[in-house]
Amino acid sequence: MGLSINKHQLVMTGVQGGVAPAHQWAPFEVGSEGETFAWPSTGGITYNVKIGDSVFGWAGEHIEPGVSSSYKHSNKKASSGYQFLACCGNQVRVITGTARGSLGHVLGHHGGVEHLMLDFSDAVLDQLSYDDRFLIRGFGQGLKLLDYPDIAIYNIDPDLFEKWGLTERSDGHIEVPVHAIVPNYAMGSGIGALSVTTGDYDILCHDAEMVKEHGLDQLRFGDFVAVMDHDNCYGRTFRRGAITIGMIIHSDSPLAGHGPGMMTIMSSSDNTLVPVIHAQANMGVMLGIGRFSSPT
């Protein structure tokens, strides 16, 4: 018998956005080892970086796979609603232009720039322009495990949640498939943020020995990962024994205090959640999208 969720109580809300322009942050930036670089970064339509790809090795930093999108409005609450209501795995539909009617999926949201990343097939990406608009069926905020009220869940479509493969053990713990387990000291930019329903925080990958020891060199866009001793129930903080499960949504960065971005999915202030390493713990595998899509 599977874990019971309150899917029937969730509200599905349409939210609409457009392509977020690509940024140039500075003529040159300086990495944690003193190196200078002038690389692509956030925003735009990224054709060759997809869910399932490694977050390392790109001549770019904080790269957002697929389409970076946003909703700009003079009313800040209207803009933040786009980030808040759209959850990973939600359906997105192109409502303008040559690709009108095409469907894709939400990957996740990137804090600071307030971008929402969207996954589409190559055929759809080739038809998109900066003038296009997207309608997302926002569905997932308010999700709960009915028998585990102390576990916080954010930012995930209930259909994707059910495909994830969580397992309830006889001792009351829940095994959660993840692709990597991150030590508590490896989290950087984004710690202290009050809201975990928008934005992300970064995994520090500048120590090569630590990265190899914990298998972080295998991180891919769309991977589920666990962070030990981090409590994301009501913000992001260190708490011994707590655990947070997240999803990788942007690439590595050489900037000090930055690295691959992780969006919060689940958190518990105790040890109820038990991460289990699984090579297929990636939303692309579960939905058949990104590098895991079937050839046409």
* Structure confidence at residue 75 (pLDDT): 75
Name residue 9's amino acid: Q
Mean pLDDT across 111-119: 95
Closest by Cα among 36, 35, 44, 283 to 178: 283
Strand bridging mode 273-277 / 174-178: parallel
Q: What is the DSSP letter of 20?
A: P
- Rounded CA separation 144/268 (Å): 12
Q: What is the DSSP letter of 28?
A: S
Q: What is the DSSP letter of 137?
A: E
- Rounded CA separation 40/58 (Å): 9
- Rounded CA separation 252/219 (Å): 10
pLDDT above 70: residue 296: no
- Rounded CA separation 221/158 (Å): 20
pLDDT band at residue 232 under the 50/70/90 scheme: very high
* Coil, helix or strand at residue 276: strand
Question: Which domains does the chain show, CATH number per domain?
Answer: 10-138 (2.40.10.170), 152-287 (2.102.30.10)
Condensed to tens digits (0 to 9), the pLDDT of residues 241-284 reads: 999 999 999 999 999 999 999 999 999 999 899 999 999 999 99
Is the pTM above the cut of 0.85?
yes
**Nearest 10 degrees: Cα torsion 55, 188, 35, 114:** 70
Condensed to tens digits (0 to 9), the pLDDT of residues 197-229 reads: 999 999 999 999 999 999 999 999 999 999 999
